[in-house]
Structure 1
Amino acid sequence: MAFQYIIVPYDGSAHAERALDHAVQLAGELQTQLDVVYVDSVQAELLQQPLIIPTHELEAYFTDEQQETRERLNRMTERAHPARVNIIQGHAGKAIVHYATKVHADLIVMGSRGLGTIQEWMLGSVSHYVAQHAECAVTIVK
């Protein structure tokens, strides 16, 4: 199967770094579209809560943080063309699956935290959720 559209969720963890390296290399070899997806679950949840800090100050903070994240990820994906960075909101697992479906991704390459079965059942795992719910192929990089 030829992959024409690869997405890689990125959260800054060591596992996500390895997955990003793998996805960049694969996208470069296949000359395929690569999207790096950063899910910002904190902003959506925080801005829905009653806060002492003015909302416009928080929005400015998140805008700056997202811009820094976008610039860092653009530098990390320079060798994979075409590549783009997308920052989305929501629960990580659901947002990744929704995004992959929306863009008709052929493959999701993502990191694993390496949790055991009991921990995964107790805590929930984004990679486990994505592997179970994605409509496309999923590669988990340790």
Structure 2
Amino acid sequence: MYNRILVAIDGSKMSNKALKSALQIAKERFSKVGVIHVEKNVMISENMTTDSIDEIYSKINHEVDALFDEAKSLAEDEDLEIETHYVMGDPAVQIVKTAEQGNYQLIVMGSRGLGAIKGIVMGSVSYKVLQLSHCPVLIIK
């Protein structure tokens, strides 16, 4: 049923739990797994030098590489391979867009646990993904 699963990761405890759940589902169903990390657009000010901008992007890329390395390691432990997607922009929009473009049939992501009121006021990525997605979304708590 779910031949292609997309997992959103951000390095949090809940996204790690979501990744492990998705890998278990993939192993049981012989599915392919994609992992996505979305970096919000970086704010650049006029006062920043080219070197400081390069340093920011270098640090971000290093952190993303570490996230993907950890995800690949967990996948290898389950005898699975993953494909990685690193994009910038609005997380919910980019997750849904990547799922559509990659023909993913399930999106798995962790819950931030904001609670009903705080989640509505602040808006949550998982809620937005639920609203925009063309496919089922599994939110891990």
TM-score by length of 2: 0.87
User: Would you identify which runs of 4 or more consecutive aligned residues in structure 1 move more than 6 Å?
Assistant: none
User: SS of the counterpart of 1:45?
Assistant: coil
Q: Which of 60, 67, 73 in structure 2 is aligned with 1:62?
A: 60
For residues 54-98 of structure 1, the C-alpha deviation after alignment (integer angstroms, 9 at most, x for no partner) is: 233333333323322222221122125232222111111111111
Is 2:113 the partner of 1:127? no
Q: 1:51 to 1:120 in 2, by over 3 A?
A: same
Q: 1:80 to 1:86 in 2, by over 3 A?
A: farther
Q: Which of 48, 52, 55 in structure 1 is aligned with 2:48?
A: 52
TM-score by length of 1: 0.87
The question of whether the paired residues in 2 share the 8 Å contact of 1:38 and 1:88 is answered with: yes
Cα distance between partner residues in 1 of 2:81 and 2:62? 25
Cα distance between partner residues in 1 of 2:109 and 2:25? 13
Q: 1:115 to 1:80 in 2, by over 3 A?
A: farther
Q: 1:114 to 1:64 in 2, by over 3 A?
A: closer
The question of whether the paired residues in 1 share the 8 Å contact of 2:11 and 2:67 is answered with: no
Letter in 2 for 1:58: I
User: SS of the counterpart of 1:50?
Assistant: coil
Residue segments in structure 1 that go unaligned for 5+ positions in a row: none
Letter in 2 for 1:135: H
Residue segments in structure 2 that go unaligned for 5+ positions in a row: none
The question of whether the paired residues in 2 share the 8 Å contact of 1:27 and 1:80 is answered with: no
Per-residue deviation, 1:51: 4.2
Is 2:101 the partner of 1:105? no
Tell me the matched-pair count: 138
User: Percent same amino acid at aligned positions?
Assistant: 30
Per-residue deviation, 1:120: 1.2
